[in-house]
Structure 1
Amino acid sequence: MSYRNEQSRRAFLSLCLKGGCSVAALTSLQLQAISGSLSSQPINDYKALVCIFLHGGSDSLNMLVPLTGEHRTYYEQSRQNLVVSDALALNTSTIYEGGVGLHPSMASLSSIFDAGTLGFVGGVGTLITPTTLSEYQNKTVPLPNHLFSHNDQQATWMHGQEKVSLNTGWGARMLERLNQHSSFTSNISLAGANPWQAGIETTPYALNKSGIMKINALTGYQPQVDHVKSIMDRLLSAKTTPLQDAYASRLANSVNNVQNMNTLLEQAPILTTQFSDNSLSEQLAAVAKSLSISGQTGNKRQIFFVSLGGFDTHDDQAVRQPALLSTLATALTEFNNALTELSLQNSVTTFTMSDFGRTLSSNGDGTDHGWASNQLIMGGAVNGQDLHGAMLSQQVGNSIDVGGGRLIPQYSNEQYFAPIAKWFGLNDTEISDIFPNLGNFDATILNLFK
């Protein structure tokens, strides 16, 4: 083998190892987290979760706005130059004083909402225990670490709890508790590595937006499959050290997974649903394609992760936010159409997460890092056509404003996650284990599913 190819081979190995292979021994705590906790109940139906992460902290308080009366007056006073003047009235099952209006850039979602397969969750955010303004000010209750910090709050949403030594995401933990993590196709990301899908025994399989993956990590040439196979055969036959064997085995599995997934995707049906060329639509198109072969993969449970960035709207929000919300609504509408075409609408639930909400007050050109937010959830099993939770008063200086228009959540993100986990198939004990702060709240108050 030439020096160039030897160097390329080493680079290929390095890339594969950086992709998630770890041979470090599990701690006893990690082993305890798995042993004895796997569900012994057979699963006969199929369900999938699709998490859409809105990176940057979506100004979701401007996604849902009051329409009339005193609440509208407060909203206009707080939002100033960012006021949404032509919001679309939502006929919510729960009646809220002043009504609920949807940002006009999300008009395509109105029909899905009216059909009862789309709902919203209002006033939700990271909390450890119910918190009042006075408790926040006097620090008499535990508070989430590093509030208003992008990286930390993203991690808290995806871990489902404050970051601890056992760093796993609640999506992966659900798969492992249900013993549905053995297949690499059960845990798929269209947006790279992320904490939500990181488990002890599972890591996300990274799928390209185009669906078909290529093995092209070797530099200098595009290797054929048989060439890659010959490299791995040599690695696997070199019984030098347990570490080398583990790495070589992981490499072989990675290439086999790519080949197997490509074979299945090449056989996927061609959907008549058309997807737009924006990034989120392309990701959800790939999810839809993966869902179309769920019968061939044999999975009973799957989780998918996609993302849309750009929501850190400190400036130019009046232009940027409508474009972002339009992209989100368009992608969701197209995905809903694809699920209907595949007859999977009742088996797939799609939901959003984001770093945090944003401030009520305009900084002159945008908004700054806030706390409470609104999220959306879509699917045939969803208790739609409603705003669950709270329609927060958008009055600066109100009884839940910790300063600068940052509102204390009235519902914890764990309360939001709990009904999703229950729909996915976990029992109450398993849900409490996965979300350790849930016992501080009413775990059943958000009736998100039919």
Structure 2
Amino acid sequence: MALDLSRRQFGKLMAGTGASAAFLQLGRTAAIAAPVAGYKAMVGIFLFGGNDGWNMVVPNDARFAGYAASRGTVALTQSSLVPLAGSAYGLNAALQPLQQIWNEGSLNLVLNAGTLYQPLTKAQYQSSPLLRPVNLMSHADEQAHWQGLRARDINVDGFLGRLNDRAAATTLPGLISFNGTQLAVLGKTSSPLVLPSTGTVVQNAATGNSADPAVFARNSAISAFADGSSYGTVTKTTGAGISSAYAQASTANTILASTSSTVDQYFVRPGTTTALTSDISRQLLRVARMIEARSTLGQARQTFFTAQGGYDTHANEAPTQTALYTDLAQAMLAFYNAMKALGLNENVTAFTMSDFGRVYKGNAQNGTDHAWGNNHLVMGGALKSKMVYGTYPSTTLGSSDDITGDGRFLPTISQEQYLGPIAAWQGVASADMPYVFPNWATFSGNTLGLFQG
């Protein structure tokens, strides 16, 4: 029987079997730095859809009146805010579990960050379109800008993937995604290990002696490529990559299916023993398990990508945000407590990202539309205690911060200023920062001082 697979089908086959997790490893050079002393991990949490960070972090001082007037249909009540001691801000009530982390000095706020090609004023934005990120306020483009960090060019690889290109080689990749093969985790010469948030890794379409021709063809292709020694050098090399991917999956499955993990007990609803079941909590639980197994894996550095969807709140924002934030905050607190229990709170930093912020002025459907600048959270014991970075925009619509008159705020902190210090803390060498962050030269002189020491 002849086997006829298109290039598209072959790509889907590779992704389905998990082979892509190892296949691109074949392109890595031998000149990879040895692991450095001390363990560190960074955990990205992408909030897909465009999180309304203006209702995540709210001014809790005299500016609240302006906030309420300008936000209109989506404004929160001041009495509902969760105060952050020592700051002028409060959190959305659904994020109340994060107050503990703030009080313990392990949560920071980053205000009005976003995609920037270069620092901009409102006048420059209006007069010079070529200085703006391309296709602003488009989900796909802004997700690519956040993950690839090229604001005016096509993004084919991501900053976590490029970080992984420069990382020390280990049996299991130090970069793991629990939210699919997102752009952020694709390197130029390396590939992440992509793992599910539930269950274990299985060989796609491997269903035994199926009579279905399509299933039979996929099974035959998998078997042929996994044992390609008789088909020449290229196929033999490909087969070695697939076999390596299966071996990686086997190692990961041992960790994911373990019944003796010490971190699971922390992933429960606050004040109960009821297990958290949201997808973001399952992802962060599995991150915690991989961190717990760091010594077994021989990894001095680990990088993780997780995500939560549903933030495109054009209507009925309040109940949607409440549900999402409740899950997010419970998952983050559980992860934080697990890291403390492992004695690794100062060794792990988690941070949020999102497509873009939302329009400050609420719409008639009690929702918000696409905008630009946004607020973000950073969590970890190595951070400076209880810090707020950046400047909250003027709550007066049409101000110099507002490019459209309804509250689409021009970011004043770039992704490089925000994410660069986290990568440097994790161990990216100064010489490699322009590789990981293509626009590093533009913003490297004014990065956030997130960390102690």
Equivalent AA in structure 2 for residue 192 of structure 1:
G
Aligned to 1:210: 198
**C-alpha separation in 2, matches of 1:91 and 1:150:** 35
Secondary structure, in 3 states, of the residue corresponding to 1:185?
Answer: coil
**C-alpha separation in 1, matches of 2:173 and 2:438:** 28
**C-alpha separation in 2, matches of 1:41 and 1:286:** 26
Partner of residue 151 from structure 1, selected from 130, 133, 140: 140
1:79 aligns with 2:71: yes
- Give the conservation status (yes or no) of the 8 Å contact 1:185–1:297: no
Aligned to 1:303: 303
- Give the conservation status (yes or no) of the 8 Å contact 1:47–1:302: yes
- Give the conservation status (yes or no) of the 8 Å contact 1:181–1:201: no
**C-alpha separation in 2, matches of 1:15 and 1:138:** 44
1:89 aligns with 2:83: yes
**C-alpha separation in 1, matches of 2:288 and 2:421:** 24
Following superposition, the deviation at residue 336 of structure 1 comes to 0.7
Following superposition, the deviation at residue 219 of structure 1 comes to 3.5
**C-alpha separation in 2, matches of 1:181 and 1:216:** 27
Aligned to 1:256: 247
With over 3 angstroms needed to count, the CA separation of the structure-2 counterparts of 1:333 and 1:221, relative to structure 1, is: farther
TM-score (norm 2): 0.85
Secondary structure, in 3 states, of the residue corresponding to 1:218?
Answer: coil
Aligned to 2:61: 68
Secondary structure, in 3 states, of the residue corresponding to 2:227?
Answer: helix
Partner of residue 121 from structure 2, selected from 108, 132, 146: 132
Aligned to 2:320: 320
- Give the conservation status (yes or no) of the 8 Å contact 1:51–1:352: yes
**C-alpha separation in 2, matches of 1:35 and 1:241:** 23
Partner of residue 17 from structure 1, selected from 14, 18, 22: 14
Following superposition, the deviation at residue 244 of structure 1 comes to 2.7
**C-alpha separation in 2, matches of 1:373 and 1:442:** 20
Give deviations 1:200-255, integer Å, cap 9, x for gaps: 22212121223632335224569xxxxx99x7489526522334323322221222
- Give the conservation status (yes or no) of the 8 Å contact 2:50–2:356: yes
**C-alpha separation in 2, matches of 1:294 and 1:308:** 25
With over 3 angstroms needed to count, the CA separation of the structure-2 counterparts of 1:416 and 1:293, relative to structure 1, is: same
Following superposition, the deviation at residue 42 of structure 1 comes to 5.0
With over 3 angstroms needed to count, the CA separation of the structure-2 counterparts of 1:248 and 1:372, relative to structure 1, is: same
Secondary structure, in 3 states, of the residue corresponding to 1:110?
Answer: helix
Partner of residue 413 from structure 2, selected from 392, 397, 411: 411
**C-alpha separation in 1, matches of 2:358 and 2:416:** 20
- Give the conservation status (yes or no) of the 8 Å contact 1:12–1:218: no
Secondary structure, in 3 states, of the residue corresponding to 2:231?
Answer: coil
Partner of residue 180 from structure 2, selected from 176, 192, 199: 192
**C-alpha separation in 1, matches of 2:299 and 2:315:** 44
Give deviations 1:15-62, integer Å, cap 9, x for gaps: 54245868xxx9xxxx9xx879x6646501111111100000000011
Equivalent AA in structure 2 for residue 55 of structure 1:
F
Following superposition, the deviation at residue 328 of structure 1 comes to 1.1
**C-alpha separation in 1, matches of 2:67 and 2:392:** 12
**C-alpha separation in 1, matches of 2:125 and 2:224:** 60
1:281 aligns with 2:313: no
TM-score (norm 1): 0.86
Aligned to 1:441: 443
Instruction: Structure 2: give runs of 5+ residues left out of the alignment.
Output: 211-218, 269-275
With over 3 angstroms needed to count, the CA separation of the structure-2 counterparts of 1:234 and 1:354, relative to structure 1, is: closer
Secondary structure, in 3 states, of the residue corresponding to 1:52?
Answer: strand
**C-alpha separation in 2, matches of 1:143 and 1:219:** 50
Aligned to 2:388: 387
Structure 1 range deviating more: 427-436 or 247-256:
427-436
**C-alpha separation in 1, matches of 2:283 and 2:409:** 32
Equivalent AA in structure 2 for residue 17 of structure 1:
M
Aligned to 2:161: 172
- Give the conservation status (yes or no) of the 8 Å contact 1:61–1:357: yes
Instruction: Structure 1: give runs of 5+ residues left out of the alignment.
Output: 223-227
**C-alpha separation in 2, matches of 1:115 and 1:235:** 50
Aligned to 1:225: none
Give deviations 1:410-438, integer Å, cap 9, x for gaps: 11111001111110112333223432323
- Give the conservation status (yes or no) of the 8 Å contact 1:135–1:141: no
**C-alpha separation in 1, matches of 2:376 and 2:232:** 50
With over 3 angstroms needed to count, the CA separation of the structure-2 counterparts of 1:13 and 1:149, relative to structure 1, is: closer
- Give the conservation status (yes or no) of the 8 Å contact 1:232–1:251: no
Aligned to 2:403: 402
With over 3 angstroms needed to count, the CA separation of the structure-2 counterparts of 1:40 and 1:274, relative to structure 1, is: closer
- Give the conservation status (yes or no) of the 8 Å contact 1:17–1:247: no
Alignment of 1:29-48 (within 5 A): 40=33, 42-48=35-41
Give deviations 1:185-204, integer Å, cap 9, x for gaps: 31111110011110122212
- Give the conservation status (yes or no) of the 8 Å contact 1:264–1:296: no
Following superposition, the deviation at residue 273 of structure 1 comes to 1.5
With over 3 angstroms needed to count, the CA separation of the structure-2 counterparts of 1:311 and 1:45, relative to structure 1, is: same
State the percentage of identical aligned residues.
32
**C-alpha separation in 1, matches of 2:301 and 2:367:** 40
- Give the conservation status (yes or no) of the 8 Å contact 2:116–2:414: yes
Partner of residue 51 from structure 1, selected from 35, 44, 49: 44
Secondary structure, in 3 states, of the residue corresponding to 2:246?
Answer: helix
Following superposition, the deviation at residue 387 of structure 1 comes to 1.3
**C-alpha separation in 2, matches of 1:122 and 1:373:** 7
1:110 aligns with 2:104: no
**C-alpha separation in 2, matches of 1:428 and 1:394:** 38
Partner of residue 100 from structure 1, selected from 89, 99, 104: 89
- Give the conservation status (yes or no) of the 8 Å contact 1:359–1:370: yes
Structure 1 range deviating more: 403-412 or 82-91:
82-91
Provide the alpha-carbon RMSD of the alignment. Answer: 3.1
